[in-house]
Amino acid sequence: MQRFYETILIVRPTLNDQEIAELIENYRGILVREGAEILHLADLGKKKLAYTIRHFQNGHYALYRYQAPAAAVRELERSLKINEDLLRFLTVKLDEKELAVLQAAAAAQAAAAAAAPEVPPAAPLAGTEA
């Protein structure tokens, strides 16, 4: 039986953007290979930590929201535990109420983005060349 999960990672801030992107994609690949359906994947960027973890004041956050069998979650967490570039991770099972709230928020955000008027490109000033 597949359930809905959310996993958040905090990666060492000393990694460059390419290494972070590869790490995020690697864990997405593990989930897909194990039969998960990725619902939402977000690279949340670098943020200040609430407290120092392994002498780091900042961390790079990534969020995965997915539907998966328990075996996929176990495999993901196994691989997360052995990666020394991760400062912390947390996986939680989402219940139907939380999932409904998240889906409603995503739908509202998509509707707001679709309803936003497009700004036409600015016309060049008279007497200037484009």
Q: What are phi and psi of 90, to 5 degrees?
A: -150, 130
pLDDT, averaged across the chain: 88
pTM: 0.78
Q: What is the pLDDT of residue 99?
A: 78
Q: What confidence category does residue 105 fall into, taking pLDDT thresholds of 50, 70 and 90?
A: confident
pLDDT of residue 64: 95
Least confident of 51-65, 79-93, 114-128: 114-128
pLDDT at 122: 56
User: Which tens digit of pLDDT belongs to each residue from 35-79?
Assistant: 999 999 999 999 999 999 999 999 999 999 999 999 999 999 999
CB atoms within 10 A of CB 82: 7
Whether the predicted pLDDT of 130 surpasses 60: no
- Which SS3 state, helix, strand or coil, does residue 32 take? helix
Percentage above 90 pLDDT, the chain: 71
> Which residues are CB-neighbours of 76 under 8 A, at least 6 positions away?
7, 27, 30, 31, 34, 91
What residues contact residue 23 under an 8 Å CB cut-off, 6+ apart? 11, 15, 62, 83, 85
Of 40, 60, 65, which Cα lies nearest the Cα of 48? 60
User: Mean pLDDT, to the nearest integer, of 7-36?
Assistant: 95
Question: Measuring CA to CA, how many Å separate 123 from each of 74, 109, 129?
Answer: 56, 30, 11
